[in-house]
Amino acid sequence: MTKFLNPKIFDKDVEQVPTRNGYGDGLLELGARVGEIVVLTGDLKESTRVEEFAKRFPERFIECGVAEQNMMGIAAGLASAGKIPFVSSYAVFSPGRSWDQLRVSVCYSNLNVNIVGAHTGVSVGPDGATHQALEDIAITRVLPNMTVVVPCDYWETKKATLAAASRLGPYYSRFTREKTPVMTTEETPFEIGKAAVFADYGDDAAILACGPLVYQSLVAAKELEKEGIKVRVINNHTIKPMDVTTVMKAARDCGAIVTVEEHQVMGGMGSAVAEILVKNYPVPMEFIGMPDAFGESGQPEELLEKYGMSVREIKEAVRNVILRKRPS
Amino acid sequence: MLLEAGSGHSAGPLGMADVFTALYFGGVLNYDPKDPWKKDRDRVILSNGHICPVWYATLAHAGFFPHEQLVTLRKLGSGLQGHPHYRELPGVENTGGPLGQGSSQAIGHALAARIDGASWHTYCLMSDGELDEGQTWEAIMLAGKNNLHNLTAIVDRNNIQIDGFTEDIMPLENLVDKWTAFNWSVIEINGHNIPEIWILCNGNRSGMASRPRRMKPKTRYISCAR
């Protein structure tokens, strides 16, 4: 285990915090420091964690009501006028409903608009399929000029939020609803576009994961080691621009890749990894993610289990991909 | 320009020529073609981007770029894109085309000016056909809620859209009542009467209006109909 991670990571009482809290705390820091920061929301102040910003900086908070298309367009106008807007909603609504405005008003103009989509993945749970965003990575990464980041825990979300403010061009980041283990610490290095090796037991295979499922991937790697299977776990948080060097090194060193994400397999992080590898260094791959299906109501852990994103499935994918490795 | 391009819209741009003339040459807008992005410039946001030929022609006449460029409209490598692209040309303030998006962009500009306490004014030019878009009404609602006095929307009420007359495709009337109900101050003008456009725009700038103001240029179509 890499030394800069939370030392209590595998303890039963490991701290659990929703990633979106890191967004709210990051915005508060930015609000005090950067006068250009403006926060918008569409009737989701509390659940996107921008309530405190609205209280402290009311003149830089814009409540748009339940109108995501207008909200995205307003953000484009604000950015054209030199502001640094953060557009906060659930991912199914923004960028889901506001995708045309994101494409035309924001991305084509290459404006400094930061979009965050809360409530992604089946782990949204009881709300059901309508509110479980499973396509947002695909629809944002396909847009030119876009940066797409999927932070793995509270600290990484906070750091990503701070980094987004000073990054040029449109930026999208997604959060989950539930409390998830805090894997990193305040000191863990983070850089957009730089994937991080979180565990390196060996080079039998590499797991490239993003979002809170990095945790399940680390647990899977730890358990596999007991079986004598030694893998590398990479936190591949930046979907675009992806860290080609680290992805290629994993393929060269390990010769087999498993990608893990709480998103449709089609068009997601795994697809982006495959695009890189197919062109440069093809190796066998397995994809953990949503299998071209809609979710449903249920408890987060039940849903992750049902749709194949549990520790057990990750381990199985690793065993399978190793069987498919070419003899060296 | 359109003849040379071999495609594009002609009626919309011609119908709005007087409005563009009044804005740019009637002393309404604060702009400087030598410093096209100066901080205190007034913002023109073209929401119905397809009428951009009249915007491009106006900007060339105003000295933002040479007239010779006008014939490059819709050609490979030209800054005169088929629908306007943000800052692709000096004076082109927004990306527009897919209808309804300019109204929200204009609100963003107006809100930014308010946050900064800046005095520049935002003018949003719109078509009546794009009032079919839900986004437009989201924008109208928000501007009304926020009392954006520093925003003026000018709707080209020409009664026509691609598939026919607006009242047949998707009835919009009574438009004045609708906008008024959303907390806008609405003034109907003859969009081909330059002194009327001039007086109304400047009236707004001097702070006479207490609420966002929309001016409704009547084209010859509506003049005949009423």
- Report DSSP letters for A155-168, one per residue: HHHHHHHHHHHTS-
Q: Which residues contact B4 (CB under 8 A, 6 or more apart)?
A: B71, B73
**Mean local confidence (pLDDT), A76-103:** 98
In this prediction, residue A159 carries a pLDDT of: 98
CATH topology of domain A16-181: Rossmann fold (3.40.50)
Mean pLDDT of chain A: 97
3-state secondary structure of A13: coil
Per-residue pLDDT band at B203 (split at 50, 70, 90): low
In this prediction, residue B199 carries a pLDDT of: 72
Q: Which residues contact B3 (CB under 8 A, 6 or more apart)?
A: none
Is the pLDDT reported for residue B214 higher than 60?
Answer: no
Closest CA to B124 of B30, B48, B199: B48
Q: Tell me the residue type at A272.
A: A
Domains of chain B, start order: 2-225 (3.40.50.970)
**Mean local confidence (pLDDT), A71-88:** 98
The whole-angstrom separation of Cα B108 and Cα A190 is 32
In this prediction, residue A175 carries a pLDDT of: 96
Chain region(s) in chain A for CATH 3.40.50.920: 196-323
The whole-angstrom separation of Cα A217 and Cα A194 is 19
The whole-angstrom separation of Cα A258 and Cα A127 is 29
The backbone region for A327, taken as left when phi is positive above 0, alpha when psi lies in -120 to 50, beta otherwise, is beta
**Among this protein's residues, is A52 annotated catalytic?**
no
Contact with chain B for residue A101, Cβ under 8 A: yes
Please state, for a pLDDT cut of 90, what percent of chain A lies above it: 98
Per-residue pLDDT band at A328 (split at 50, 70, 90): low
Architecture of domain A196-323: 3-Layer(aba) Sandwich (3.40)
- Nearest-CA residue of chain B relative to A109? B86
- Nearest-CA residue of chain A relative to B143? A64
In this prediction, residue B185 carries a pLDDT of: 81
Is the pLDDT reported for residue B222 higher than 70?
Answer: no
Would you call B134 and A69 a contact, using CB atoms and an 8 Å cutoff?
yes
Q: Tell me the residue type at A284.
A: P
Would you call B104 and A74 a contact, using CB atoms and an 8 Å cutoff?
yes
**Which residue out of A59, A68, A187, A223 is catalytically annotated?**
A68
Q: Which residues contact B67 (CB under 8 A, 6 or more apart)?
A: B60, B61
pLDDT tens per residue, range A215-235 = 999 999 999 999 999 999 999
In this prediction, residue B176 carries a pLDDT of: 84
The DSSP secondary-structure symbol of B41 reads P
- Contact between B101 and B133 under an 8 Å Cβ cutoff? The reply is no
**Mean local confidence (pLDDT), A18-39:** 98
Q: Tell me the residue type at B207.
A: G
In this prediction, residue A19 carries a pLDDT of: 96
Extract the tokens encoding A172.
């999208």
Is the pLDDT reported for residue B207 higher than 50?
Answer: no
Query: Among A24-28, A241-245, B104-108, B191-195, whose mean pLDDT is lowest?
Result: B191-195
Please state, for a pLDDT cut of 70, what percent of chain A lies above it: 99
Per-residue pLDDT band at A1 (split at 50, 70, 90): low
Is the pLDDT reported for residue B226 higher than 60?
Answer: no
The whole-angstrom separation of Cα A151 and Cα B42 is 40
Query: Among A165-169, B4-8, B198-202, whose mean pLDDT is lowest?
Result: B198-202
Please state, for a pLDDT cut of 70, what percent of chain B lies above it: 89
In this prediction, residue B193 carries a pLDDT of: 85
Is the pLDDT reported for residue B200 higher than 90?
Answer: no
Is the pLDDT reported for residue B142 higher than 60?
Answer: yes
**Mean local confidence (pLDDT), A246-252:** 98
Q: How far is A66 from chain B (nearest CA, A)?
A: 9
Per-residue pLDDT band at B196 (split at 50, 70, 90): confident
Contact with chain B for residue A323, Cβ under 8 A: no
Q: Tell me the residue type at B211.
A: R
**Which residues in chain A are contacts of B81 at CB distance < 8 A?**
none
Contact with chain B for residue A87, Cβ under 8 A: no
pLDDT tens per residue, range B55-98 = 999 999 999 999 999 999 999 999 999 999 999 999 999 999 99
Complex confidence, ipTM: 0.94
Chain region(s) in chain A for CATH 3.40.50.970: 16-181
